[in-house]
Amino acid sequence: MSEFVTLTIDGKEVKAPKGATVLEAAKSAGIHIPTLCFLKDINEIGACRMCIVDVGARSFQAACAYPVSEGLNVITNSPKIRETRRVTLELILSNHDRECLTCVRSQNCELQKLAKELNVKDIRYEGENQEFPIDDLSPSIVRDPNKCVLCRRCVSVCNEVQSVGAIGVVDRGFNSTVSSPFNFALNDTPCVNCGQCIVVCPVGALYEKSSVEKVWDALANEDLHVVVQTAPAVRAALGEEFGYPIGTRVTGKMVAALKRLGFAKVFDTDTAADLTIMEEGTELVERIKNNGKLPLITSCSPGWIKFCEHNYPDMLDNLSSCKSPQNMFGAVLKSYYAEKMGIDPSKIFVVSVMPCTAKKFEAGRPELASTGYPDVDEVITTRELAQMIKEAGIDFMNLPDEQFDDPMGEATGAGVIFGATGGVMEAALRSVPYLLTGKDDENIDIKVVRGVEDFKEAELEVNGIKIKAAVVHGLGNARKLLDKIRSGEAEYHFIEVMACPGGCVNGGGQPIQPASVRNETDLRTERAKAIYEEDEAMTIRRSHQNPRVLKMYEEYFEKPGSEKSHKLLHTHYVARENYPEN
Q: Which residues are catalytically annotated?
A: 280, 283, 300, 320, 359, 362, 367, 504
Q: Report the candidate in 42, 17, 14 with the shortest Cα–Cα distance to residue 26.
A: 14
List, as own/partner pairs, every contact residues 284-287 make where C-beta atoms lie below 8 angstroms and the sequence separation is at least 24, other chains included: 284/320, 284/428, 284/432, 284/467, 284/493, 284/494, 285/432, 285/435, 285/436, 286/561
Rounded to a whole number of angstroms, the distance between the first and last alpha carbons of the chain is 57
Give the neighbor-by-neighbor strand order of the sheet with 73-74.
Answer: 12-17, 4-9, 73-74
List, as own/partner pairs, every contact residues 28-36 make where C-beta atoms lie below 8 angstroms and the sequence separation is at least 24, other chains included: 31/76, 33/63, 33/76, 34/85, 34/114, 34/117, 34/118, 35/64, 35/515, 36/92, 36/110, 36/111, 36/114, 36/149, 36/151, 36/202
Please say whether the beta carbons of 508 and 500 come within 8 A: yes
Question: From CA 2, how far away is CA 17, in angstroms rounded?
Answer: 6
List, as own/partner pairs, every contact residues 385-391 make where C-beta atoms lie below 8 angstroms and the sequence separation is at least 24, other chains included: 385/234, 385/238, 385/254, 385/257, 385/258, 385/353, 386/238, 386/241, 386/242, 386/511, 387/212, 388/212, 388/215, 388/216, 388/261, 389/242, 389/257, 389/261, 390/241, 391/212
Please say whether the beta carbons of 316 and 294 come within 8 A: no
Find all residues with CB under 8 Å of 555, minimum gap 6, and list them. 336, 340
Q: List, as one string, the DSSP characters of 141-179.
A: EEE-GGG-----HHHHIIIIIS-----EEES-GGG-EEE
β-pairing, 378-381 vs 206-208, is unpaired
CA distance to 16, 19, 463, 565, per residue, from 24 (Å): 8, 10, 53, 54
Question: What residue ranges in 337-431 does DSSP mark as E strands?
Answer: 348-354, 378-381
Q: Report the candidate in 528, 573, 571 with the shortest Cα–Cα distance to residue 233.
A: 528
Q: List, as one string, the DSSP characters of 229-250.
A: EE-TTGGGTGGGGGTPPTT---
